[in-house]
Chains A and B, each alone.
Chain A
Amino acid sequence: MNKGWNEFDAGAILFTFNEKVGNISEIHSEDRPYSPSSSFTASVSDWRIEKPVFNKEYCIDCQFCWIYCPDVSIISRDKKMVGVDYDHCKGCGICVEVCPTNPKSLMMVAEGKDEEEVLAAWPQKDQEKNNG
């Protein structure tokens, strides 16, 4: 889309979906007929310097990361934390800050790092924090 500033329409209507949808509040994103106008189809993954990596082993499904994620990037289904949506995550790190487990179930690592390697070298339980 390479239009000059004076070539745009004065007003515009954008349709989020390609077809009519029923009760949108009961349909999760994977089942929605998004049109190319929805920012769901765009990506901001190149904004990130660090990415959050999720370790299922320590997660207690408290959903703090889900509610405090500004970018709808924590995928939760059936009351379980499923993973991170790396197309929409901007790498702010809020999910890691609010994670209450010890050790944390989410960790910020450099964008290029291999996930398997990070999971293998996950920090151990912080004893001091537990006692204090």
Chain B
Amino acid sequence: MVENKKTKNLKEFSTSADRFEGANLLCPGCAHSIIVREVLNATNDDLILSAATGCLEVCTAVYPYTSWDASWIHIGFENAATAVAGAEAMYKALKRKNRLLQPERVPKFVAFGGDGASYDIGFQWISGAFERGHDMMYVVLDNEVYANTGGQRSSSTPIGASATTSPAGRVSYGEKKEKKDMMAIMAAHGSPYVAQVSPSKWKDMVKKIQRGLNTEGPTFINAVSACTTEWKFAPEDTIAIADLAVDSLVFPLYEIIDGHELNITYRPKNVIPVKEYLAAQGRFKHLFKPEFKHILDEWQVRVDKKWEQLQRREEARI
């Protein structure tokens, strides 16, 4: 068993030396960098990182600057998983041939991608990397929209959200399709560890990241990333919105081990109505008109049903 970095409390955690730099061009209050910082700080190991095209990539690698203090590569929109899988395969090959220059250093491989690059465009590549079983971790920064290109809907956009390609108006209530259940899909790949995290619950998140990094094989992390620009809320509310998402059970925090053993890792003491989560964001503003009330009601029913399903699965251990 690998020794985890000690992160018992926040004071201890705060002695970490960040490997992600400021003066990147992400919006003020962007959750992406909070998530990336928590991931990088969760370990002291050497890291080999890649990023898919998206807000994170274009904002942290603006030539001639880079915001990364670890080996980091970007190739194309869809192949963050493939790039890191290739690096991992090369590392293994060199190790086998005894040709590593610094064999005592054992790196961890992490790929970052937005929901557009993971749920839609890069899905085939992620699926391939997971099927081949590379020893890597894939982190989705799930902001439920193509934020970098101006807020088009992705397959992660939830019902009722107004996006530029599914705008709300007099007739339409916005996005019509349900959010893709990526967690179940990745668990079905037989991944040894799949988890959903929120940056606002840092301890739960760091624990899951450490477990993901120390598990051999391809692991998957889905992180809710509140987007101040596209979700339309004030930049200082990022953490509050992430908390609302978790406490309203829209983003339940759970993990799936070996594709079947499901654990709910956080049960809110006071579950708040989904309405409050939706009301806090401008992208759902139109749902509060009387003609779209049925969408609001359906939201609550859907979230309750999902929570019930998760609890039943946790009990059944199958």
Contacts and interface: CB of A to CB of B under 8 A. Distances in A.
Interface in A1-56: 1, 8, 12, 14, 16-17, 23-29, 32, 36-44, 47
Contacts of A17: 69
**Chain A interface residue bracket vs B:** 35 or more
A25 B69 CA distance: 9
A62 interface: yes
Given A79-B15, A94-B29, A16 B68 contact: yes
B63 A12 contact: yes
Given A26-B44, A79-B11, A98 B239 contact: yes
B17 A70 contact: no
Contact of A73 (B22, B61, B199): B22
Interface in A62-112: 62-64, 66-73, 76-79, 85, 87-94, 96-98, 108
B237 A97 contact: yes
A4 B106 CA distance: 41
B11 A61 contact: yes
Nearest to B62: A39
A25 B16 contact: yes
B15 A37 contact: no
Contacts of B315: none
Nearest to A79: B11
A128 to B, nearest CB: 21
Nearest to B60: A39
Contact of A70 (B10, B31, B43, B68): B31
Interface in B170-223: 199-200, 202
Contacts of B60: 39
Contacts of A25: 16-17, 19, 43-45
Q: Name the residue in A16, A23, A25, A47 with the highest tally of chain B Cβ atoms < 10 Å from its Cβ.
A: A25
Contact of A71 (B11, B22, B63, B236): B22
Interface residues of B, number: 52
B44 A47 contact: no
B23 A39 contact: yes
A97 to B, nearest CB: 5
Interface in B46-81: 60-70
A42 to B, nearest CB: 4
A68 B20 CA distance: 14
Interface stretch (B32-40, B119-127, B276-284): B32-40
A124 to B, nearest CB: 22
B44 A44 contact: no
B21 A24 contact: no
B287 to A, nearest CB: 25
Contact of A42 (B23, B26, B238): B23
B28 A78 contact: no
What 8 pairs across the A-B complex have the smallest Cβ distances? A88-B22, A93-B236, A92-B29, A92-B28, A90-B28, A63-B14, A42-B23, A70-B33
Given A92-B238, A97-B236, A97-B237, 9 more contacts: A25-B19, A26-B44, A36-B64, A38-B67, A63-B13, A67-B34, A68-B202, A90-B29, A93-B29
